[in-house]
Structure formats: structure tokens, C-alpha cells
Amino acid sequence: MQLDKNHLIQMNKWKLVCILFLILFSLFFTTGCWNQLEVNDTAEAAALVVDLEENQPSLSVQLVHRSSAGESGSSSPQHINITQVASTFTEAARRITLSVPRLPTWSHAGSIIIGDNLASQDLGRATDFLARNRNIRKSALVFISKDATGKECLDAEVYLESHAGNALKKLISIQETQLGIYTPVTLDQFLQNLATPGIDPTVPQLSIQKDGDKNMLRLDGTAVFKERKKVGSLNEMESQGYRFINPKMITGGLIIIFSPLENIPDSDKLISIELTRSQAKITPQIEGNRIINMKISIEAEGNFYEQTFAEEFISFDNINALNEMVNEKIKALIIASIVKAQLLNSDIFGWGQSVYRTNPSLWNEIEKDWPEIFPSIQADITVNFQLRRSYLLDESFKFR
């Protein structure tokens, strides 16, 4: 009996030794650093630009180098913009290493600008590079240059920021909560809409405006795509209407209406309404194999933010009238976006996808004819806006 006990103890010791050996053996292969880089050997890529230059793929990158005090006496970020033209975008990206002694960390790029030349010709020339490359962040925000090349947008300045790459993310995020005009689009969303039947992509646009001798970058419209090409754009009013039809809940924004106390609209008597939340529900109304209309229901809330006249306004009756005015304003914005999208024959709202989810068999029948069906679809729009608060004043400001 004692022998068996000693034998078991010896066996357990051998098992423990074997387990420890396997753990150490696996760590030997999993903790290597053969593909790691020193920080001093890299440069942060803040933004990427894909475009065409003389019909050849052109890739530009904005590289940010945070120098140490020992190198330049300052820890402030520095950046350079580099462009390479090659037969493919991958080759152009790698040719950057011919002149830059640091490896760009492409995955840090939070903004991607697609040049107007490329967008207006064929996005198919760049989508594989953007989708397949594991070093390109799919959560990066996408922009389209307007009346300029993507490289020119990258070279332009943004107020209060040292370089455009990181500034673009802040720019579109802040305007969404403050003005609520443009809808941010990630690379993943953009590629998904390009590959999905029944919906066409949109992307915020960038234009360059002169401020003295400086070229300043600003958001300017929404690019509208039909399949693989840009076919037009939405202006500010149409872009705001498009944002309201987004099926996801939206927060933030500003709506300006005329005072409902006036029989004739008076531009000197305006009211600013801060939008706090809005949710759209889109349902295709179908009879048999025919689409009657798209029923669009909007539930929204907001706050009374400003009036530009001195009359007493805030009362129960006036608030009801104000709610109706806001309803009509939101409806007008939505109609403007629908009219433009149907004029461009681009289903940016995903109505085809709505039909597919509601009635897959009907969509299979009409999918090939959708470009002829979409422009003639009617919309039945209902908006229900409710004013919630008036901030620091319960009554209009009173003068002595």
C-alpha cells in the first residue's frame, strides 16, 4: 500500500513538471517581439487621402511626429503631408517609405478623405484597398472633397487646430450636437452601404474657403452616391432633412422658425429651438405587389432657446402653435431631402432595404426595377414635436 502511495506521488510530480514545461514552451513562442517597433521609429498617421492624379492612384498621408525635448526643445506635435502616385494605392502607400525614415502607423488615422476626382469616376478603384487593408481603421470617419482635390483639403488649415487630420473628427462631432446638419459616416458604414442592395451611401463634404491669405477647411454639403459614383450633393437644408430620416435616434441640433404670432412671416421675429432628441420610424405601405407610399413618423423633443423680439410669447396657446410650426419646419426639411434624392435617383434613405425587411418576396421581384420605382414613391410624413423646457426664463424677457 505504501508503494502505491509513493508511486502516485511520483506520478503527480511528473505531471506537474510536464504542465510547467508546456506552459514555458508556449510562452517561448507567444511572447516574441519580432514584429514590434520602437516609438522613435514610427510616425503617427492622422489622416489619409485617396484620389486620382492624371488617372493614377494617388495617396496622401498626414504624419504627426511628437518630438521629444531632446530633439527640438519642444514637445509640441509637428506634421507633414506627403503624397505618392503609383499604379495601385498599396504601392503608393509603401513608396512613402522611400522618403520618410519612420514607418507610418496607418491604424491611427481617424479621418479618410476621398478626392472628388475619384468619387466622381469610380469608387471601385479604391474600395478594395480600404476594405481589405487590416491597417486602416474601419471606425475612421469618411469625407469627400468638394471643388478641390483631397490633397488640397489635407493642406488646408482648421481654426484652433494644428492639423486637419484630428480636427475633422472634432469638427463634425461638435456641429452634430450644436447645429445638427451633417451626419458622420464611418468607413465601415460607407463600405457596407456600397455593398448592400436597396441603399446608397452619403458622405459629408469638405470645401476650402479663403480667409485672407489662408485656405480654411469647412464642412459644406453631403455627397450623394449612386452605386459606385458621386452623382450630386445635398445642401445644408437637405442635409438636415436627411439627418431627421435616420432610423437611429439623433440628439442635438438647432431649428429656426418664424414667430407663430405673425400672420405673415417676419425675418425680424425668429425663434431658436434646440433639438434634444428625435427618432424616425419608416414603414412601407404595401398593397399586393404595389408600394403605396413610405410612411415616415418622427417623434421629437426640444427646448425653447431664444426669441429675437420683445413681445410676451411663452404661454400655453403659443406653445401649441410653436409645436405646430416646428412640425412644419421639420417636415419641410425632410421633403427637401426626399425631392433631391429622387431627383438624383439615389436611395440614400434605404427605402429598398425597408421594403426587403417588410416583404422579402416583393423586393426580389422589384429589385432590378428599383431605379425606375424609387423616384416616383410618395412619402406620408407625420411629425410630433414637443417643447420640454425654456431654460432660465419662464416668461419672455421684460424691459423696464
In a domain, 110, yes or no: yes
Cβ(158)–Cβ(167) below 8 Å: yes
Instruction: Give residue 335's pLDDT.
Output: 97
Same domain (yes/no): 165, 247: no
The pTM of the full predicted model, rounded to 2 decimals, is 0.86
Instruction: Give residue 11's pLDDT.
Output: 61
In a domain, 31, yes or no: no
Cβ(307)–Cβ(270) below 8 Å: yes
Same domain (yes/no): 328, 288: yes
Same domain (yes/no): 302, 158: no
Residue 13 has pLDDT above 70, yes or no: no
In a domain, 214, yes or no: yes
Same domain (yes/no): 279, 370: yes
Lowest average pLDDT, out of 168-172, 242-246, 281-285, 315-319, goes to: 315-319
Helix and strand numbers (H, E) in the chain are: 13, 13
Same domain (yes/no): 219, 252: no
Give the chain's radius of gyration (CA, Å).
Answer: 28
Same domain (yes/no): 75, 175: yes
Q: What is the mean pLDDT of the chain?
A: 88
Instruction: Give residue 70's pLDDT.
Output: 46
- Bridge partners, residue 282, by sequence: 296
pLDDT in tens, 343-371: 999 999 999 999 999 999 999 999 999 99
Same domain (yes/no): 128, 252: no
Same domain (yes/no): 229, 288: no
Residue 203 has pLDDT above 50, yes or no: yes
150: closest CA among 193, 203, 100, 211? 203
Same domain (yes/no): 310, 178: no
77-85 vs 56-66, strand pairing mode:
antiparallel
- Cα(17)–Cα(3) distance, integer angstroms: 21
pLDDT in tens, 111-133: 999 999 999 999 999 999 999 99
Instruction: Give residue 34's pLDDT.
Output: 47
Domain ranges, residue 382: 236-393+396-400
Contacts of 349 by beta carbon, 8 Å cutoff, 6+ apart: 199, 242, 245, 282, 294, 338, 341
% the chain with pLDDT above 90: 68
Per DSSP, 97 falls in state: G
CATH number for 292: 3.30.300.210
pLDDT in tens, 39-70: 667 888 999 999 999 999 999 999 987 654 44
Split into its structural domains, the chain has a count of: 2
